[in-house]
Amino acid sequence: MSGDALSQDPAELRRRIDTTKAHPARVYDVFLGGKDNYPVDRAAAAAALAANPRGYLDVRHNRDFLRRAVNTLVQEDGIRQFLDVGTGLPTAENVHQIAQRTIPDARVVYVDNDPVVLAHARALLTSGPEGRTDYIDADFKSPAQILEQAAKTLDFDQPIALCLVAILHFVEDEEAYPIVRELVDALPAGSRLVLSHLTEDLNPENIRAVQRTYTERGFTFVLRTRAEVERFFSESSLEMVDPGVVPVHRWRADNAAPVPDQPEASYLAGLDDIEKVRYADINDVTDADINVYAGVGNKA
């Protein structure tokens, strides 16, 4: 599937891209300062930012959690394989770049079903010479297909970190919990689940306003409580890694979130609010800014 996906005819890819409807991966890309999005995605991001002016901190800290989690797993636990489902558009830094800095022969498989992500997937395959990366064009709701294709690159006799970062709030309960169980059940002992999820526990007024902007655009958008997020781990019999399920900026915070290079003040002043987000320093975060839980679980 992955090889076939990357060889898809460009015209077929363009046909698959719906530029009339916002897509979560592309809206996420807007908040990360990417350029692989469309006016409809920028409009959705702008509406969310208007509803919660510091909501970009959720997105940026979610991405920084992924950096910290991958670093922890490779540096402290020696995890050498990653299955990143709901990858989104390539952005600095991707999982293989983080992992291979410490473990050059790390293997990473990326999974997404957005044709825009597929069109840029080769950027996700720039592995170091000792490691391997692959891309699977598949839906999260097709776990058997994901596992079958991932086994071509990953060794399912050795621990694997399954990354479900900011994807599950787009999936209803009746599908989300069984799919996570099926994916985790296929992993060997010593594997990890890396998970983040939007919640209304922390700052409900802000996130409910954002939720309305997304549901009005046809997105499934499920806000789950801490207990409901913990259920993804407990139903798969995973042991929580310290500090458990916590607000995303508090998961092993190292105060090292990268600060983007700053442009001239005159240039910055000419940008609209959504364009300024890419230059924001996220290290001034407070608990009142965050609506995301994060956690890592260990399969004994």
% of the chain at pLDDT higher than 90: 64
- Res 110 pLDDT > 60: yes
Give the SS3 label for residue 168: helix
What percentage of the chain carries pLDDT values higher than 70?
Answer: 96
Confidence of residue 120 (pLDDT cuts 50, 70, 90): confident
E-strand ranges in the chain read 81-85, 107-112, 132-137, 161-165, 192-198, 239-240, 246-247, 292-298
Overall average pLDDT of the 141-166 stretch: 97
Average pLDDT estimate for 252-270? 87
What is the average per-residue pLDDT within 79-84? Answer: 98
CA distances from 146 to 1, 131, 157, 296 (A): 10, 20, 17, 21
Distance CA 63, CA 94 (A): 10
The pLDDT of residue 3: 46
